[in-house]
Amino acid sequence: MKGWGEKNKYFHANFLCFKGGKVMFEKDSLVPYVVEQTSKGERSYDIFSRLLKDRIIFLGEDVNPTSASLVIAQLLFLESEDPDKEIFLYINSPGGSITDGMGIVDTMNYIKCPVTTICVGLAASFGAVLLANGEKGKRFATPNSEILIHQPLIGGGQGGGISGQATEIKIHADHLIKAREKLNKLLSEKTGQPIEQIEKDTERDHYMSAQEALEYGLIDGIMDKRI
């Protein structure tokens, strides 16, 4: 990145997070920031804002209402800046909420910008779905990444454990089955695998190395050097 100053510092920040429907603060989170030299003097950015200037979005946590909203907002912002320029979505996520994740998927498909997806570390559960949903030919994983696909889990971002009357449990079970069918269809479309194979492989946790994910059709290449 050209024009950066030599300073590279860290600051302690209080971050908003949502737990149990309440707004809470995570104190003393260590976030790096950089100081850039401009014609108007020095300007400082937290590292994620600086990466956004280069059209890089980083998902480094589970998929939840807050993280999904941030990714969606960044996708929409970058499209408004330049609707034809590529966006890079780096993923290191254990997955999470299907509902929130589908919001990201729909936004990726909605915007005009091609979205390159890159797994660095782990793309599990819905993280793998986001990875596969990148622009065809532009889905990558670093050599030591792990990818995991499986069926939706009760309590896995779908509102916690289920309890109540039998009719209520059946409603939740039917919804979970529909979610599984939707995800299997999406993975089949994105990987080229028959739906029967996807159903078999997602019956239990199915781990893949970067090479195995490439052979499976979930990614298009292994990225060991910047392109």
Q: What is the pLDDT of residues 7-34, one digit of tens each?
A: 444 443 433 333 333 333 344 457 787 7
Which pairs from 175-178 meet CB under 8 Å and 24+ separation?
176/152
Active-site residue, 150 included:
yes
pLDDT for the residue numbered 14: 38
Residue 116 in contact with residue 140, Cβ under 8 Å? yes
CA distance 208 to 102: 22
Catalytic residue among 150, 172, 188, 206: 150
**pLDDT tens-place string over residues 80-116:** 999 999 999 999 999 999 999 999 999 999 999 999 9
pTM, entire model: 0.81
CATH 3.90.226.10: does it fit domain 55-160+190-227? yes
**pLDDT tens-place string over residues 117-172:** 999 999 999 999 999 999 999 999 999 999 999 999 765 444 455 667 888 888 88
User: What residue spans in the chain does CATH classification 3.90.226.10 cover?
Assistant: 55-160+190-227
Catalytic residue among 67, 93, 97, 125: 125
Q: In terms of Cα–Cα distance, which of 58, 72, 149 is closest to 109?
A: 72
Supply the Cα-derived Rg of the chain in whole angstroms.
19
Active-site residue, 209 included:
no
Maximum separation of any 2 CA atoms in the chain, in Å: 67
DSSP 8-state symbol, 205: -
